[in-house]
Chains A and B, each alone.
Chain A
Amino acid sequence: MSDRVRPMDRKIVRSRLSFRDLVAEAVAGMLARPGRTVLTILGTVLGVAALVATLGLAKTAGNQIVTRFDALAATSVSVSNRTEGFFRSPGVEDTSAIPWDAEDRLTRLNGVVAAGTLTLVNTEGELVSSVPINDPLGQSAYAMDVLAASPGLFDAVIAELATGRFFDEGHDERREPVAVLGPGAAARLNINRVDQQPAIFIGDTTLVVVGILEDVAREPSLLEAIIVPNGTARGLFDTGAPAEVHILTEIGAAYLIGEQAPIALNPNDPEKLRVQVPPEPQAVRSGVESDVNTLFLVLGGVSLLVGAIGIANVTLVSVLERVGEIGLRRAVGAARRHIAAQFLVESAAMGFVGGIIGASAGVLVIVAVSANREWTPVLDAQVPLLAPIAGAVVGLMAGLYPSWRASALEPVEALRGGT
């Protein structure tokens, strides 16, 4: 058969449909019924818009979390001997809840970087001064907080020195009369260097200043206070027990340490201690977000599917309506593949246009929500570019069956059927 046909091939001009003509015919077919085309692409528009908005809002909200994520807060654990309230706030205090060796007990826990106790010392209203004389012309004595700390506290609150040194375990054990000043306290006492071993007086008690703080990352109460070793406070002021413990943990260990610290500190009755751990905003928010994300992605997928069914339906109806046109095109030389291509391109173009409109709508939603929440809108650059392609693919898939139906029509039948 093919051997006999071949000599004739040369004489017959094979039908062809250039890509430009194909697109022109498809676009003309779409524009023939603009109202119907708009309604047809609506489903794709909604689906693509939902998908783009979901992806963009997830990215935008994710960026918010990164902005708010604070490594400092996420590595901080505090334990208080008060069952209500917190440091220096009204509440029930159990003075036997935290032992003096809290620092040793906690630094043994895996995940603890540093730990230290902090206790407000009861000085019975004694004022603090840097000169031993009473000057009637000016104020030289002040009421200041005196805090007792274990040496590890400075690391636990991430303190920096302006000058001098922190006190250490030796000072603590020997109950030496030394003090570290917060920068506010140092300024009020007119002390700015420690190389001359300046002395301060708490009532009649003399303390040697060994260091002045520059800043602390936590516990700003240290900035205005006089900090003495635990042993010194116990020896000079009969301080009873530590009031609270501050712990610096490895990143991610805060929750675990929050559970373990009360047991390490007070194994008999850990319930007596109040633990403050960071709320771990990332975990909470990302949990909510992934739920919302999944929901909206599913919704977007469903509406995209509905959009595809809509395109398939309308294209099928359009094929049945245009049987006459199909017959006519077959009569003037259109091959089956040309008919199939025309309907495929029509449905793909509807999906493509739906994708463009949907992506634009999705971006508008992202911008509107971001403006409302005062967020910075963030969107992957590929998303609005890929969305029309996704729409076109959806349209193409939807057009497969109708275009096959169109191309399978026999021209004789088609010419008889339509107008």
Chain B
Amino acid sequence: MNAVVELDGVSRTFPGSPPVEAVRDADLVIDEGDYVAIVGPSGSGKSTLLHILGCLDAPTSGTYRLQGLDVGDLSDGLRTSLRGTEIGFVFQAFHLLPYRTVLENVMTGLVYNRTPRRFRRRRAAEALERVGLGHRMDFTPRQLSGGERQRVAIARAIAPQPSLLLCDEPTGNLDSKTTQSILDLFDDLRTDGLTLVVITHEAAVSQRAERRVDITDGVLAEVAS
């Protein structure tokens, strides 16, 4: 089994007086195909952990290897490139472009990572079919329900076929019924072999994951299931 994510003594400290240690000495290994929930209250450092995992931020100490690459050594530009190919993001706020169609929104995920133009439309359409929105391609996000919008965001995240899907409170803006359908979709994606990390404070979400890691005041603790 290949390790997708290897955290080894990772810390992230924000300068200030006093300095804030958002993540402390974190050790975590996530293998290919894992479904990990990272659970913690707000202010526990889970957002910082997500940013580090997503190469949006670099650890101040320790090493983070993504697919065997030491991310801490990479320049800002290379981390950006890595995000485009290796990581799919799903945000609580969806971050869809309101004036573009659903298909164009999904294609945005393929613009910067050297996917040839002629493949983009097909791969975006396949991703939309995968999340069950093949019939909504020419809609704009404003015409969609919250659950549908999050499915579009998931389609955008999986279209580049990343090695890691990072979801930040993916159901935070959804009701419980829609939450269930999104979680069902996560289960489906996992059976396809996708590696999934979901950050949440909702028990309903974390229960569906195969592994659960609690984070409190920046300290990680895996909860045996």
Q: Which residues of A contact B (CB under 8 A)?
A: 1, 4-5, 8-9, 11-18, 20-21, 25, 28, 31-33, 324-325, 327-336, 338, 411-412, 415, 418-419
Contact = CB atoms under 8 A, between A and B. Distances in A.
A15 B114 CA distance: 7
A418 B96 CA distance: 10
Contacts of A325: 95, 97
B78 interface: yes
A333 B74 contact: no
Given A20-B117, A28-B104, A332-B109, 8 more contacts: A5-B73, A8-B73, A12-B69, A33-B99, A332-B111, A335-B80, A412-B51, A418-B95
Interface string B68-89: 0110011111101111110101
A327 B57 CA distance: 13
B156 interface: yes
Nearest to B91: A415
Nearest to A324: B95
Nearest to B83: A333
Contacts of B108: 328-329, 332
Contacts of A418: 93, 95
B81 A333 contact: yes
Interface of B is mostly: mixed
Interface of B: 51, 54, 56-57, 69-70, 73-78, 80-85, 87, 89, 91, 93-95, 97-100, 104, 108-109, 111-114, 117, 156, 160
Nearest to B88: A332
Contacts of A4: 73
Contact of A16 (B56, B75, B112, B117): B112
Contacts of B51: 412
Contacts of A21: 111, 117
Given A33-B99, A415-B91, A332 B112 contact: yes
Between A21, A31, A415, the greatest number of chain B beta carbons within 10 A of the residue's beta carbon is seen for A415
Contact of B56 (A12, A20, A411): A411
B85 A335 contact: no
Contacts of B94: 419
B16 to A, nearest CB: 16
B56 A331 contact: yes
8 contacts: A1-B73, A5-B75, A12-B78, A13-B85, A14-B78, A14-B81, A15-B81, A15-B112
Given A4-B73, A11-B69, A17 B112 contact: yes
A16 B54 CA distance: 19
A327 B54 CA distance: 13
Contacts of B112: 15-17, 329, 332-335, 338
A324 B112 CA distance: 17
Contact of A17 (B73, B74, B111): B111
A29 to B, nearest CB: 9
A17 B80 CA distance: 13
Contacts of A332: 83-84, 89, 108-109, 111-113, 156, 160
A324 B89 CA distance: 13
Contacts of A11: 69
Nearest to A338: B112
A333 B57 contact: no
A20 B97 CA distance: 19
Nearest to B113: A333
Contacts of B156: 332
Given A15-B112, A16-B114, A331 B54 contact: yes
Contacts of A411: 56
Given A324-B95, A325-B95, A412-B51, A331 B83 contact: yes
Contacts of B73: 1, 4-5, 8
A5 B78 contact: yes
Given A327-B95, A328-B95, A332-B89, A15 B69 contact: no
Contacts of B89: 328, 331-332
A20 B83 CA distance: 22
B214 to A, nearest CB: 23
B171 to A, nearest CB: 17
B84 A419 contact: no
A387 B201 CA distance: 58
Contacts of B84: 13, 15, 332-334
B31 to A, nearest CB: 20
A256 B85 CA distance: 84
B69 A419 contact: no
A328 B56 CA distance: 11
A335 B112 CA distance: 8
A77 B94 CA distance: 87
Given A331-B89, A415-B91, A13 B99 contact: no
B74 A5 contact: yes
Contact of B93 (A1, A333, A419): A419
A336 B75 CA distance: 13
B105 to A, nearest CB: 9
Contacts of A330: 56, 80, 83
Nearest to A21: B111
Nearest to A31: B99
- A-B interface, 8 closest residue pairs, ranked by CB to CB distance from nearest: A333-B84, A32-B99, A333-B112, A328-B95, A15-B81, A15-B112, A331-B89, A332-B109
Contacts of B56: 330-331, 411-412, 415
A418 B94 CA distance: 10
B82 A12 contact: yes
A177 B94 CA distance: 114
A199 B75 CA distance: 112
Given A4-B73, A411-B56, A412-B56, A333 B99 contact: no
B117 A415 contact: no
A330 B78 CA distance: 12
A56 B108 CA distance: 45
B57 A412 contact: yes
A43 B21 CA distance: 51
